[in-house]
Amino acid sequence: MDELGIQDWQLPDDIWDIGIYDAHCHPVDNYKKLPAGLKNLRTSKLTVMATRLDDQHKVHEAALQFPDRVVPSFGYHPWFTHLLYASSTPPESKSQHYRSVLFPEPTDKFLDLLPDPVSLHEFIKDLTINFERHPYALLGEVGIDRSFRLPKSGKQVTYELPDSDDEQPSRSENECCEQDKKRLSPYRVTLDHQKQVLLAQLAVAGKYDRSVSLHGVQAHGVLFEIFNELWSDFHVPTKKERKMNKDEKTQIADTGGNASSATPSFPTRVCLHSYSGPPDQITLWINKRKVPARIYFSFSVLINQRYGEKFKKVVHAVPDDRLLVETDFPLAGEKMQALQAHIVSVVCEIKGWKLDEGVKILKRNWNEFVYGESSAL
Ligand SMILES: [Zn+2]
């Protein structure tokens, strides 16, 4: 972090006018403050993430209320996956469920603090409904987190501010101060369970041809394996085949048939949000033979700036047309705007782009990521 305070970062008006896009943020964490926060925010569009059961409807409402500013993203974050049971029938008991998805084995005292789990299948039905009613909605925030531990209180992590509190939240997800560490239990969600929840959601995103905003902490190898596996039987189509496939889709749509039968069964546009993996792995992800999807890498000041020199190397390693910027911030307003200005400036500097040139590239990338290649401006 440099010595300038976050609030001091600004961009000239003509740069904002080109259009600046936040590829990943959480303003529904402070939903009541969203209308006021959006009023003076210069960011053109916000890709607004859902994370758990009780914020999916907030993302839906925000997209209805601000259709020009909010691009909704529905999904279930790895931090909350223990609250879902994946079996088709409810588990025998609450403790049986939690003992099967948490490790080390939780104590009875801790289990008492946790709510009854709910059905993953029911969540998937809601996700489908949300995709049906928002044709451009993404899947997110989903992923794998191997470092996250449940809070001792058994409560869900939230960055919601009390109504009376006008203070800005001081940190974003993933960032964990010493005080928080003391509040954490030793319990983590098993990788198998996180994977099951992720794969169920990816299948829906594939069916509806939606982009994915992906969270990965201490899981870069695992995530890569998951995606590599998803595409293992897939033949990368040639240009000619791609054109034929496109024509076929149009025909199916014209006849009122089911267009999804012509789409691949996995998502074709994926963003590794606040990417914190090594630079070498970027080469692996963008190798079409290994993962034939279009992979994007997004960066935020809150998560990535602390990586110093490594951050520069990583940004350099990302192809120009796969780079995105984000705030990952839970409150719309002044600080969100400053964070956006900051990451745009830093990324342009590292890439050696003039601001206006860089902002145009980032704009095109965001449009391609969200709407697909043909919709790029
Ligand atoms: Zn996030």
> pLDDT tens digits for 325-369?
999 999 999 999 999 999 999 999 999 999 999 999 999 999 999
211-215 average pLDDT score: 97
pLDDT above 70 covers a percentage of the chain that reads: 84
C-alpha 230 – ligand 1 centre gap (Å):
23
Residue 255 has pLDDT above 50, yes or no: no
Domain contains 342: yes
How many angstroms does the Cα of residue 61 sit away from the middle of ligand 1? 19
- Centre of ligand 1 to C-alpha 278, Å, is 19
**Domain assignment present for 332:** yes
For ligand 1, the distance from its centroid to the CA atom of residue 336, given in whole angstroms, is 13
- Pairing outcome for strands 45-49 and 294-299: unpaired
Residue 113 counted as domain residue: yes
Q: Residue 280: which domain range?
A: 6-231+266-375
What pLDDT score does 5 carry?
Answer: 56
Question: Is residue 164 in a domain?
Answer: yes
Angle of the 309-317 helix axis to the 334-351 helix axis, nearest 10 = 70
Report the separation in Å between the CA atom of 323 and the middle of ligand 1, taken as the mean of its atom positions: 17
Give the Cα separation of 168 and 6 in Å (integer). 11
pLDDT band (50, 70, 90) for residue 377: very low
Does residue 131 have a pLDDT over 50?
yes
- Tell me whether residue 1 is in a domain: no
What DSSP letter does each residue of 101-115 carry, written as one string?
A: HEESPPPHHHHHHSP
User: Is residue 256's pLDDT more than 80?
Assistant: no
> In this predicted structure, what is the pLDDT of residue 2?
43
Query: The domain that contains 364 carries what CATH number?
Result: 3.20.20.140
Query: Domain for residue 124, yes or no?
Result: yes
Residue 245 domain flag: no
pLDDT tens across 53-102, in order?
A: 999 999 999 999 999 999 999 999 999 999 999 999 999 999 999 999 99
* Distance from Cα 110 to the centre of ligand 1, integer Å: 27
**Cα-to-centroid distance, 340 and ligand 1 (Å):** 14
Distance 4 CA to ligand 1 centre (A): 24
287 CA distance to ligand 1 centroid (A)? 25
Ligand 1 mean position, distance from CA 198 (Å): 15
CB 56 within 8 A of CB 74: yes
Q: Domain total for the chain?
A: 1
Question: What is the whole-number distance in angstroms between the Cα of residue 49 and the centre of ligand 1?
Answer: 7
Interval between CA 26 and ligand 1 midpoint (Å): 6
Question: For all residues of the chain together, what is the average pLDDT?
Answer: 87
The predicted-structure confidence for 140-185, as pLDDT tens digits, reads as follows: 999 999 999 999 988 877 777 665 455 555 444 444 444 555 689 9
Ligand 1 centroid from CA 301, angstroms: 13
What would the pLDDT profile of 260-312 be if each residue is shown by its tens digit?
Answer: 334 456 888 999 999 988 999 999 999 988 888 999 999 999 888 777 888 99
CA of 249 to the centre of ligand 1 (A): 33
- Burial of residue 108 (number of CB atoms within 10 Å: 0-12, 13-18, 19+): exposed
Q: Which three-class secondary structure string do you get for 226-270?
A: HHHHHCCCCCCCCHHHHHHHHHHHHHHHHCCCCHHHHCCCCCCEE
pLDDT attached to residue 181: 55
Question: How many whole angstroms from 273 Cα to the centroid of ligand 1?
Answer: 7
- Residue 240 located in a structural domain: no
Q: How far is the CA of 214 from the centre of ligand 1 (A)?
A: 9
At 343, give phi and psi (nearest 5°). Answer: -70, -35
* 96 CA from centroid of ligand 1 (Å): 30
